[in-house]
Structure 1
């Protein structure tokens, strides 16, 4: 499917649909600009992503999203409906996600109880299916490069859909790895080889998926959360608990309540740890991840220590909200935790 086949909207239509991009219709904001809820004249509801005029990088991201998403069709990927390019205005129009993003539920103590264990497990499996499609089943092998909780959107049935392909890259059929001198992504989700050396592959997406799984199980962010006097982040903390045999008792989000499968939770923790192993070749492919998620009897390999990094901030007063944005990495340190 060529991007020229997408529906082209005129700016005035989108201006009316969003009530002149009013604050009341604002759904979210990122480095690219803002996303608004829009109601079209024929009654359809859409999400309108309006590119910031001052973002040169954002323009390239928009072109990238149009090229990529126009070719992708999967129930666990957000569907691109059209675009608008008029003079200084550049916008993308997506299907509307009634429940916005996963992070709104997962990290909010009042809303996290709405995510029972079955819903969390279904969300994990849905993300895995969407990522498998990108890596193996679509016409192009696609590396997302910015998989994170805020890029997982939820429809009215809480079906997860991977969004934001502005940083994604297409691989050739026989290509397994690529390198970049400009590392972009989000702190806490990037694999060590990508953060340090600019190397990315399907296995760097697998690392991000592993972080997502562990965040969904624990209801805790990997970045910005520290445990014990050793200042371990979530991955280091979970690894320590796993080696001590206390992962389930300490880790599972208490908002889940007491209705859950112990074996299923432990399997998800183990899969998450397998995905965030330091060496890319040790991490499973997404096809293997789905097999492990769906099998109740399969014996899983034991994970080795996770690779993760701690950001050296130039300005320690920088707000955590800014650190959540996708950005270029300047200084990172890879840290490996050995069990005591």
Structure 2
């Protein structure tokens, strides 16, 4: 066994929420915790749907990613579902000899069971209820955010990180681009029209979806300015990207490129090469802002995102359907000018 003189605790951080955008919101706080942990690194425990390996797997502060396969979206029983699954997770963590678990969660009970089985003594969490305070290690507590839910997750994480002394002020979300992914995307986009605009066309919920017709009109408007337009989504958005492209005049289609087949790391790299990103309230628009690309988010009448006001602008209206492509084009071009 390798001996070390580093007396800082060997640390895991656990993320309760399941989305890529949620991971992006937390990554800078994970980095701060790593700075106070053994070897300057942390183990990240997160749902597979966060795509943590693709988003932060290359970060120097990351020791490893461990999937918490508790509630998969495809209907199967997760490896870590139920009490037996939590015990299995704890058994998998036990050989890692972790000293503490930092839980970004408002329901830490399941992770506490994992900690018990893994032999992790220090369990830090929000502590917002008497039961949490009973289960968790004694430490500063926070009052949970009680406003509109859009960025409540980020605000709770921020309050927790500051209360625990991991940082002294709110941190704007940031992730680094994988160099190999950046090289691949530079090559793939080399012959494409520039400057490019990314349209984030995916959505986790139907009420967040602006629609193929609107995206097609916006893409055509941007293409007429001489810009390239990148339709960004995952494999499940392939048909939507095809519908958008079909709605664009044939002479403009060469300027519109669909990117629904790329690994997440390559999509992140592509976002970093864009002049701006415009899209639904989804992980991709959060990723764009986190790599430094100005992002406009189609919100309609929903409460605004508040975690990155300098790079994320809200496109608001009486409803999502009331936001016109012409108005979006005007607002984005004016903002960039």
Normalised to the residue count of structure 1, the TM-score between the two structures is 0.23
Is the helix fraction higher in 1 or 2? 2
Q: Which has the larger radius of gyration?
A: 2
Normalised to the residue count of structure 2, the TM-score between the two structures is 0.23
